[in-house]
Amino acid sequence: MSKNPTYASIVLGGGCFWCLEAFYQLLRGVAGVAPGYAGGTTKNPTYDQVCSGIGNHTQVVRVEYDQFVISLPTILEFFWAIHDPTTLDRQNHDVGPQYRSAVYYVTENDKKTVYSSLESARKLWNNPIITEILPLDEFFEAESYHKNYYLNNPEKAYCQVIINPKLVEIRNKYAALI
């Protein structure tokens, strides 16, 4: 994490961290996105452990952003819109507790902002939002091959079939933020 005093961070889970990373890398004011794991019980979990349910971690991204360029409410508005926060342990074809919707906040002010954004987001969905909202205990950065996965592997089937169509939709819908 940067030492820049205008930067802050939030940790978000909304399905596969490859997707979230690719989406948040689009936003103006986002200084960095790191895939990783949060919310579980195992120290330094591996991808294989998380995918097999060991430690009950969530696949997440740590979004570091410049508060003078993009606000936390905007980052959260984007979060509620780019995944389905009403499904338990699932985002499209990705199924399992590691894919749950979750927000891990860093400060008490962030907690207030998250709950305020949740109230606004409820108007967007017909079903109840079941996103976990918890203080960030610890963030474990994912293995290096997950970093910039979409940028480094655009030809891979998952990127072509899952990420690309969503990126097109997001670029069109959120052009003002990119």
Tell me which of 16, 19, 51, 159 is the catalytic residue: 16
First to last CA, the chain: 22
Cα separation values, 105 from 9, 46, 97, 113, 153, Å: 8, 22, 19, 9, 30
Residue 1 near residue 9 (C-beta atoms within 8 A): yes
- Per the annotation, the verdict on 51 as an active-site residue is no
Q: How far is CA 14 from the centre of its chain?
A: 5
* Rg (alpha carbons) of the chain, rounded to whole number: 15
Tokens of 178: 């990119």
Torsion of CA 157, 26, 148, 115, to 10 degrees: -100
Element (H, E) at 174: none
Q: How far is CA 104 from the centre of its chain?
A: 10
**Residues annotated as catalytic (active site), given as ranges:** 16
